[in-house]
Structure 1
Amino acid sequence: VGETIDGDRYRKVLGRYPTGVTLVTATGEDGPVGMIIGSFVSVSLEPPLVGFLPAKGSQTWPLIEATGVFCVNVLADNQQGLVDLFVGKEGDPWASVSFRLADSGSPIVEGAVAAIDCSIDRMVEAGDHWFVTGEVTGVEYSDEGSPLVFLGGVYGLFEGLR
């Protein structure tokens, strides 16, 4: 008990777990905002809840939180360029992104394989992150395309075994 975990080793271990790649969006006072999130999870079927973990130091999360709503866009394997736009923090990433608004007013990105519209349910402090749960208010998906996957610092695509 109480063993010190080496940070680099810990990150490498977690990097062996593949995640989907999502763009969490909302429309703030100054227009659309979004952040790339890999820590998205289904929380509950009844009531329908999802969750994700933004860093406490995020500049974007407070803008999304202030709206009370968000939309989780599950990015397709041909949308890695969106990751670069939203992680880069240079210029307005929305200038070159096609989207429409969900019922909540949050952007649904064209080409995403799924969109999950939510109202913020609660936030729980979790170390250097917040664990945010959202009550699902709307969903849509496409049978076309495959989700973008992140593993070991590399983006890729999913290929089924059968």
Structure 2
Amino acid sequence: MTPAPAQARTPTFSSLEFRAALGMFATGVTIVTARGPDGAPVGLTANSFNSVSLTPPLVLWSLSRRAGSMAAFSAGSHYAINILAADQHALAERFASKAVDRFAGVAWHEGTAGAPVIDGAVAVFECFNRSRYDEGDHVIFVGEVERCAHRAGAQPLIFHGGRYYTELPL
């Protein structure tokens, strides 16, 4: 029996090859929102969302350490994960842009703990900022879901291979 290696082998692929391979995994699209230290709403597009546990209800998402909103998400006690509907692809692009007022003209309301909830989302998870883990060039956020809601029958926005799609039944 061969002993397990003490660390991972050096990758034999480039960052571009890794990114292209990751793009083959179709995901939903979210906008994660919170309040900054000054109370202003902050938000960003993320597709790094996943469920963790049913009991207690936990979800996760990740954020680049270089993100301008890192301080707001790290220090804040709550955030909302808004799963976008198929007709909200313009919002996904807006919240992924850097030089825009992301909330200008966007319909939203305050969630139970203050985080912005995007109107029209197919599902929303309002979370207590339970824990954070530093891994590589990102921070993994684990949220304990305090409230969730969804719109039955709504079409979610899907991202695959650098493009947006809608759900098509087989």
On whether the aligned pair clears a TM of 0.5, the verdict is yes
Residue 120 (structure 1) aligned with residue 129 (structure 2): yes
Q: What SS does structure 2 have at the residue aligned with 1:10?
A: helix
Identical columns (%) = 35
Residue 159 (structure 1) aligned with residue 168 (structure 2): yes
Q: What are the ranges of 5 or more consecutive residues in structure 1 without an aligned counterpart?
A: none
Q: What SS does structure 2 have at the residue aligned with 1:94?
A: coil
Do 2:45 and 2:93's aligned partners in 1 also have CA atoms closer than 8 Å? no
How big is the shift at 1:19?
Answer: 0.7
Q: Deviations over 1:48-76 (max 9, x none)?
A: 10000101111112212222110000000
How big is the shift at 1:39?
Answer: 0.4
Q: What is the match of residue 15 of structure 2? A: 7
Q: Do the aligned partners of residues 3 and 55 (structure 1) sit closer, same or farther apart at CA in structure 2, a change above 3 Å counting?
A: closer
Q: Deviations over 1:6-36 (max 9, x none)?
A: 2111111111000110000012214111011
Q: Cα RMSD between the aligned structures?
A: 1.2
Q: Structure 2 CA distance, aligned partners of 1:59 and 1:102?
A: 23
- Aligned pairs for 1:125-140 (under 5 A) are 125-140=134-149
How many residue pairs match? The answer is 161
Q: What is the match of residue 49 of structure 2? A: 40
Residue 149 (structure 1) aligned with residue 158 (structure 2): yes
Q: Structure 1 CA distance, aligned partners of 2:70 and 2:149?
A: 23
Q: What are the ranges of 5 or more consecutive residues in structure 2 without an aligned counterpart?
A: 1-8
Q: Structure 2 CA distance, aligned partners of 1:14 and 1:130?
A: 18
Q: What is the match of residue 17 of structure 1? A: 25
**Aligned-partner residue type, residue 155 of structure 2:** S
Residue 83 (structure 1) aligned with residue 92 (structure 2): yes
Structure ID, larger Rg:
2
How big is the shift at 1:4?
Answer: 2.7
Q: Structure 2 CA distance, aligned partners of 1:65 and 1:78?
A: 30
Q: Structure 1 CA distance, aligned partners of 2:11 and 2:69?
A: 34
Q: Structure 2 CA distance, aligned partners of 1:74 and 1:36?
A: 10
How big is the shift at 1:139?
Answer: 0.4
**Aligned-partner residue type, residue 119 of structure 2:** E
**Aligned-partner residue type, residue 160 of structure 2:** L
